[in-house]
Amino acid sequence: MKDNKKLVEAITPIDQDFAQWYTDICLKAELVDYSSVKGCVVLRPYGYAIWENIQKLLDARFKATGHENVAMPIFIPESLLQKEKDHVEGFAPEVAWVTMGGSEELEDRLCVRPTSETLFCDHFAHVLHSWRDLPMKYNQWCSVVRWEKTTRPFLRSREFWWQEGHTIHETAQEAQDETLQMLNIYADFCEQELNIPVLKGRKTDKEKFAGAEATYSIEAMMYDGKALQSGTSHYFGDGFSRAFGVQFTGRDNQLQYPFQTSWGVSTRLVGAIIMTHGDDEGLILPPAVAPYQVVIVPVAAHKPGVTEAARELAARLGKFCRVKLDESDNTPGWKFAQWEMKGVPLRLEIGPKDIEKGQCVLVRRTDREKLFTPLEDLEQVIPAQLVEVSRQLYARAQKNRAERTFSAKTMDEVMELANTRSGYIKTMWCGDLACEEKMKEVAGLSSRCIPFEQEVIGDVCPCCGKPAKTMVVWGKAY
RNA sequence: CGGGGUGUAGCGCAGACGGUAGCGCGCUUGGUUCGGGACCAAGAGGCCAGGAGUUCAAAUCUCCUCACUCCGACCA
């Protein structure tokens, strides 16, 4: 540390410039590379591995609740996109169009899917005949394109990877249950696997998905107090079914329209992980999705027995966790810093002194606590310590959120909080769009959601003074 | 889409007074090191973002374009 100029890989301090810190992490932890198309990034092996782990865990949950994976086309004919009015109005400003096929102009230009409701509806109309065919519970893992004006890796890119679930059901109740079931799966996944506490609630009409009857979301709070919508689940009623002519013969031998849902999470979750858990040293990855859960750093690898012991440990640990043995010829100190930056939850140091004592040194990424551990105990200690890292991550995120959650009864209080703090502001709300718009205008706040867990803060809307209907959580969002 | 910033080696930067390029790190090879970002030596690496001007001569001056980035607006 004597020579600070050595720290060319250093990242911007998190409290100095959070946006720059975020960009530094994305690039220096080797998660992404910029491509030559604005807003499109390369997910590098280390970044993609995180997404793969997210996919594996979520896919298992989808399958366990009876969903099947499918693959839909990437193109939507303009005529198809036009069928649902609100939907097309919502998405038209940000779709990319294919107008040429080879050297010939297309008569019906093709939209590169920004989301696939229309494609699924078109397909459902083909394959649905009887109530016995229901429910159809489909999911697809794919990328979609939305022509964003300002872009940031993971948070908002022109192409991004996600999953979109699309289901149709015989009854409204069943579809509504599905909508909430999937929201709960997302929330549970974020909390259990990503160690990110989330707020569950319903979106206001202003914020809901184009064409939806109701949109629900999970909202996560980032280190800097800004909110990140981390997953959404929509209930469509039979609006899309009617627009696309999706019908089935019911138990009563009458033609009926099914009720529909869609829900999705994206690579934005990787952004949520970075911004929820990271610190000045770099990334901290939740053990459940970390590409490497343990990195083994041999110390004085040239000394007799060290390399052999390290390799033996790597093989042994590989049986119960994801492990990386760093045999590069960098110095141990360099490796410590490097793997801390890349967020590996646990480090295992093994050197001549350890071998002599039949132990190793385990270091937690979260608090750098050193644990001198007998080698024979690793099968017990490592899983336990991974759990401990998860616990610490969740506790820290929850503490940050608690410290940044405020409530206000008057506009003065709202303004005071919005100007001096960064976080959630809870207020009562009359339900009028005008007041929601005023919040944006005067305080720069958007409604995050109407939480399922309601509190009574007062009787009136701080904006207009009319009787309040619900409590809303406001904030600045990514 | 509006406002600011930046484009010179892989990365970070200097060169701005016109005279076709330099520093640090990284990289390669060899050697010594190794418990918190090691050191020595020898190398490789550049259409100075792109285009058009001015000039005997442009990284440097003028104009245009593009890209990236930050802050707004908009949207997931």
Residue A5 in this model has a pLDDT that exceeds 80: no
Residue A430 in this model has a pLDDT that exceeds 90: yes
Residue A151 in this model has a pLDDT that exceeds 60: yes
Residue A409 token pair: 């009864």
Q: What CA–CA distance (Å, rounded) separates A34 from A42?
A: 6
Across all strands, nucleotide nearest A335 (CA–C1')? B37
Residue A136 token pair: 């159809």
Residue A8 in this model has a pLDDT that exceeds 60: no
Nucleic chain B contacts, protein chain A, residues 12-31, CB cut-off 7 A: 19-20, 22-23
The H or E element that residue A352 is part of is helix A352-357
Residue A1 in this model has a pLDDT that exceeds 90: no
B24: residue with closest CA to C1'? A5
Q: What does the DSSP assignment read for A446-462?
A: EEEEEESS-----SB-T
Those nucleotides of strand B lying less than 7 Å from any protein Cβ are 1-2, 10-12, 24-26, 33-39, 67-76
Residue A256 in this model has a pLDDT that exceeds 90: yes
Residue A20 in this model has a pLDDT that exceeds 90: no
ipTM: 0.85
Q: Is the Cβ–Cβ distance between A219 and A230 less than 8 Å?
A: yes
Q: How far is the CA of A330 from the C1' of B44 (A)?
A: 21
Is strand B within 7 Å of residue A334 (CB)?
Answer: yes
List domains and CATH numbers for chain A.
Answer: 18-277 (3.30.930.10), 294-388 (3.40.50.800), 405-475 (3.30.110.30)
- What pLDDT, on a 0 to 100 scale, did the predictor assign at position A6? 41
A344, HSE (Cβ side, Cα atoms, 13 Å): 26
Residue A223 in this model has a pLDDT that exceeds 50: yes
For A66, counting Cβ atoms within 10 Å of its Cβ (0-12 exposed, 13-18 middle, 19+ buried), the class is exposed
Nucleic chain B contacts, protein chain A, residues 348-377, CB cut-off 7 A: 349-355, 360-361, 363, 368
Q: Is A128 helix (H, G, I), strand (E, B) or coil?
A: coil
Strands A227-237 and A248-249: unpaired
For A325, counting Cβ atoms within 10 Å of its Cβ (0-12 exposed, 13-18 middle, 19+ buried), the class is buried
pLDDT digits (tens, 9 = 90+) for A359-387: 999 999 999 999 999 999 999 999 999 99
For A455, counting Cβ atoms within 10 Å of its Cβ (0-12 exposed, 13-18 middle, 19+ buried), the class is exposed
Q: Which residues contact A252 (CB under 8 A, 6 or more apart)?
A: none
Mean pLDDT of the residues in chain A: 93
Q: Is the Cβ–Cβ distance between A51 and A270 less than 8 Å?
A: yes
- What pLDDT, on a 0 to 100 scale, did the predictor assign at position A396? 97
Is strand B within 7 Å of residue A314 (CB)?
Answer: no
- What pLDDT, on a 0 to 100 scale, did the predictor assign at position A7? 42
Q: Tell me what the mean pLDDT of segment A83-104 comes to.
A: 85
Three-class SS of A124-185: HHHHCCEHHHCCEEEEEEEEEECCCCCCECCCECCEEEEEEEEEEECCHHHHHHHHHHHHHH
- Count of all residues that appear for chain A in the document: 478
φ, ψ of residue A428 in degrees (nearest 5): -80, 165
Q: How far is CA A392 from the centre of its chain?
A: 19
- What pLDDT, on a 0 to 100 scale, did the predictor assign at position A9? 57
Amino acid at A136: M
Nucleic chain B contacts, protein chain A, residues 46-85, CB cut-off 7 A: none
Nucleic chain B contacts, protein chain A, residues 120-149, CB cut-off 7 A: 146, 148-149
Q: Is the Cβ–Cβ distance between A394 and A191 less than 8 Å?
A: yes
Across all strands, nucleotide nearest A332 (CA–C1')? B34
Q: Is the Cβ–Cβ distance between A114 and A210 less than 8 Å?
A: no
Q: What CA–CA distance (Å, rounded) separates A342 from A26?
A: 10
- What pLDDT, on a 0 to 100 scale, did the predictor assign at position A15? 86
Q: How far is CA A138 from the centre of its chain?
A: 20
- What pLDDT, on a 0 to 100 scale, did the predictor assign at position A96? 87
pLDDT digits (tens, 9 = 90+) for A99-135: 888 778 888 889 999 999 999 999 999 999 999 999 9
Identify the weakest region by mean pLDDT among A4-13, A153-162, A373-382. A4-13
Q: What percent of chain A has pLDDT over 70?
A: 98
CA-closest candidate to residue A277, choices A198, A394, A186? A394
**What number of other Cβ atoms are within 10 A of residue A279's Cβ?**
17
Is strand B within 7 Å of residue A10 (CB)?
Answer: yes
- What pLDDT, on a 0 to 100 scale, did the predictor assign at position A134? 97
